[in-house]
Amino acid sequence: MPTLDIAADLLALLRDTDSEPRADTQLEALTLAVAADLPVLLWGEPGIGKTAALNQLAEALDLPLTTVIASVHEPSDFAGLPVVGEDPAVQGVPMAPPDWAVRLVRTGRGLLFLDELSTAPPAVQAALLRLVLERQVGALRLPPQVRIVAAANPRSSAADGWELSAPLANRFVHLQWTYDHDVVVRGLGGIWPRAELPRLDAARLRDAVAHARRAVCGLLSVRPTLVHKLPGAEARRGGAWPSPRSWEMALRLIAFATAAGASRDALSMLVRGTVGDGPGLELLAALDRMDLPDPEDLLENPAAAVLPERGDMRQAALDAVVAAVRQRPTRQRWDAAWSLLARAAETGPPDLVVVPATTLAALRDHEWDVPVAIERLSGAVDLTRRLAAR
């Protein structure tokens, strides 16, 4: 057998890999944005597997992959080349699309991968605006089943790199792509994590949309300066920043994440990658407040109350209960709050009840007897104070 044929067999064995279900926040965020039909831009250093991840994603989703290296194309490759017909005064001059766009339209579905986006000069970036937002390439409009994902290296590590223009950057969901040591080692051993589209719960769609709208509109109603905030530094304009367009994208991602039961880490990546870190964290905090239990429900039946597991949310829930008692102080509500604090100290970190307990104690009417629940609570509070004093 010829040596090259043997080499081909060896290469085939090296390419023969398998995949497995594995919790991967990056893949979860990427597939969620793809399902939501939003353009995604993967930022990462060269050689960490951005292109390999897109190839694996296309294979897992059974989508034909079309790779376009933005930096080696002219603006006309995205805006279309003028083609003069027999009578331009009557027919006009149509813009002929490139062959890759024609293939995508003919196939009707696919994954368009715009690689090396940060090495595309400003003229090419300007030509990409309609493609990314409107899916328009020359005279052709890409089918709805075509998804767009791009990849870029930071300017410091890109070959002849450019900063991304603000209009183009604001059209993407920006995901910081890093490598996971365990994933790389297992993948080199032949098993990579499997990319799967999120499973949307049809029964939750309306509630998911209402939840997303309530969160975004609730935040922007009290923080109007966040509606549009173009960064002053040119480098930051090439990333995620808040605008009406990016808030609409964030709203869509929250709705999809809610309907799919996505992890908080994936949602955090997506929200911060859409409107920026600061506004994104404010939106996540607003979502947390929406998920807190009603303090009146907790006071009504403290013995059966289910408190949040996360420490910050549990603290917020306890503070809300004390605030509710302060607003309408009665002996029954005061006693119920002490029972709830005792339950919180028994089922979670006792230090979380110190501040609420101190505030609640100050609300006592001199005619109210000390409730029994305080005895269950005093040991945990005293221990916490002694530890804090050391």
Looking at the structure, tell me whether residues 178 and 254 fall in a common domain.
no
Q: Tell me: the pLDDT tens digits for 36-86?
A: 999 999 998 888 888 888 888 888 888 999 999 888 888 888 877 777 666
Mark whether 237 and 352 lie in a shared domain: no
Question: In the listed set 193, 224, 249, which residue is the last one of a domain according to the structure?
Answer: 193
Residue 277 shares a structural domain with residue 317 = no
Does residue 149 lie in a domain region?
A: yes
- Rounded to whole angstroms, what are the CA distances from 13 to 4, 7, 10, 231, 368? 14, 10, 5, 49, 79
Task: Report the range of poorest mean pLDDT among 10-14, 103-107, 258-262, 315-319.
Answer: 315-319
Task: Establish if 11 belongs to a structural domain.
Answer: no
Q: Please check whether residue 121 lies inside any domain of the structure.
A: yes
pLDDT at 389 over 70: no
Q: Are residues 53 and 150 in the same domain?
A: yes
Per the structure, the count of domains in the chain is: 3
Give the pLDDT band (50/70/90) at residue 235: confident
- Pair 306, 384 in one domain: yes
Residue range 327-344: average pLDDT? 89
The answer as to whether 245 is a domain residue is yes
Q: What is the mean pLDDT of the chain?
A: 86
Pick from 389, 330, 328, 334: which is nearest to 356 by CA? 334
Q: What is the pLDDT of residue 98?
A: 85
pLDDT score at 383: 42
Residue numbers of the domain that contains 310: 295-389
Residues 185 and 277 in one domain: no
Does residue 9 belong to any structural domain of this protein? no
Would residue 63 count as lying in a domain? yes
Confidence of residue 2 (pLDDT cuts 50, 70, 90): confident
**Residues 118 and 40 reside in one and the same domain:** yes
Same domain, 269 and 300: no
The pLDDT of residue 169:
94
Task: Give the phi and the psi of residue 87 in degrees, each rounded to 5.
Answer: -140, 85
Secondary structure percentages of the chain, helix, strand, coil, to 5: 60, 10, 30
**pLDDT at site 157:** 61
Which one of 260, 291, 322 terminates a domain? Answer: 291
| Residue 390 binned pLDDT confidence (cut-offs 50, 70, 90) | very low
Place 21 in a pLDDT band, splitting at 50, 70 and 90.
confident
The domain boundary residue, chosen from 193, 228, 258: 193
Residue 281 scores a pLDDT above 50 = yes
Distance, CA of 150 to CA of 173 (rounded, Å): 10
| Percent over 90 (pLDDT), the chain | 38
Share of the chain above pLDDT 70, in %: 91
Q: Are residues 32 and 108 in the same domain?
A: yes
Phi then psi dihedrals of residue 379, to 5 deg: -60, -45
Residues 44, 66 within the same domain: yes
Note the pLDDT of residue 109: 93
pLDDT digits (tens, 9 = 90+) for 159-180: 566 788 999 999 999 999 988 8
Q: Is residue 8 part of a domain?
A: no
Q: Is the pLDDT of residue 102 over 50?
A: yes
pLDDT of res. 64: 92
- Tens-digit pLDDT profile for residues 120-137: 888 889 889 989 988 988
Report how far residue 303's alpha carbon sits from residue 270's, in angstroms, rounded to the nearest whole number. Answer: 38
DSSP for 332-375, please give it: HHHHHHHHHHHHHHHHS-GGGGHHHHHHHHTT--TTSPPPTHHH
Number of Cβ atoms within 10 Å of the Cβ of 221: 8
**211 and 332 share a domain?**
no
Do 34 and 62 lie in one domain? The reply is yes
For 375, other C-beta atoms within 10 Å of its C-beta total 11
Which residue's entry shows tokens 């919790």?
A: 23
Among 147, 137, 158, 176, CA closest to 60:
147
- The verdict on residue 356 lying in a domain is yes
